[in-house]
Amino acid sequence: MAATTFYAQAAANRRKSALLLFVATLLFLSFGFVVGFAWLGDPVAAIGTTVVAGIAALVSGLVTYYGGAKMVLAASRAHPATAEAHPVLMNVVQEMAIAADLPMPSVYVIEDTALNAFATGRSPQHASIAVTTGLLNRLDREELQGVIGHELGHVRNLDIRFALLVGVLVGGIALLADVLLRSMMWGGGRRRSNNRDSGGGGLQALMMVLALVLAVLAPIAARLVQLSVSRQREYLADATAVEFTRNPAGLEGALWKIGTDREVLEVANRATQHLYIANPIKKFEERASSLFSTHPPLADRINRLRALHGGAPLSVEDMRPLAAME
């Protein structure tokens, strides 16, 4: 694997994320128009229904935007860290914040033996970082720097804000799908009959078939786009962490320990799993779902870090312990 730079990785991931956001936006607008036309039989009214659904999704997103961080920390049973109880953690966060040219975030600890961490908050000025006690006990200082650098990379790159925007689009698509299906049950047939009598039934019938197909496929496609964006942001945060630490080996070692850890993080769930540095839901758990993976393979992330200093990729034998957990 040829050596590259974290600047090149960051630039490439920004382009890919922008493309994915464009695809999600296009999917939302197209679906909104098709559903509106199929429901009302009027292209002008279809634009109106798309705008209304978008406003509803935006309101929901804003509620999450301003209150989501507190809800996530509470759900994770995180409590504030202190310099007296966690001097190394607080020192590492402070030095990484200086390296990133960011305000000092609020720091929290989750009492759990599993190895993991996440960042949350709506902006660098309202950011929080949470780490598990297992992570603090089993990582050395360089590895902890890599993890904190990764989480501050999410903060500096405004990943929470970016994820919110895509989340609003996904929610809007789900809302439109629900509206369409309910309209079919509660009066859609009468509207179609009226429009057919007025001579516009052929095109509307075609739109209805298309809308029904999209009602099933669009939410799944939107969810996949959302997960793709999440995976791209993990690559970008890895590259950003190296920019802060100038030491890819630290994060590489941390990801290896996290990826081969068999401890289960009980407080994690499907709603919060995408926030963590690595998927907290293990492959052997009943709640695991490989179809909707929120993170790129750890072996791939480690190989990208190795490429930054010209190192050889992981061997097949080395990748087996990681694959067993994902």
Q: Kindly report each contact of residues 311-320 with a partner whose C-beta sits within 8 Å and lies 24 or more positions away, as own/partner.
A: 312/1, 313/1
What letter represents residue 186's amino acid?
A: W
**DSSP assignment letter at 35:** H
The residue among 216, 219, 193, 217 whose CA lies nearest residue 204 is 193
Residues 6+ apart with CB under 8 A from 19: none
Length reported for the chain: 326
Active site residue 151: yes
Burial of 132 (0-12, 13-18, 19+ CB in 10 A): buried
Backbone angles phi, psi at 78, to 5 degrees: -85, 140
Strand-by-strand arrangement of the 117-121 sheet: 78-80, 106-110, 127-132, 117-121
Backbone angles phi, psi at 128, to 5 degrees: -135, 145
Given a contact cutoff of 8 angstroms between Cβ atoms, the answer to whether 149 and 251 are in contact is yes
Q: Half-sphere exposure of residue 93, counting CA atoms within 13 Å on the CB side?
A: 26
What letter represents residue 71's amino acid?
A: M
β-partners of residue 129 are: 107, 119
Catalytic residue among 84, 111, 151, 252: 151
**DSSP assignment letter at 313:** P
CA–CA gap between residue 262 and residue 275 (Å, rounded): 19
The residues carrying an active-site annotation are: 151
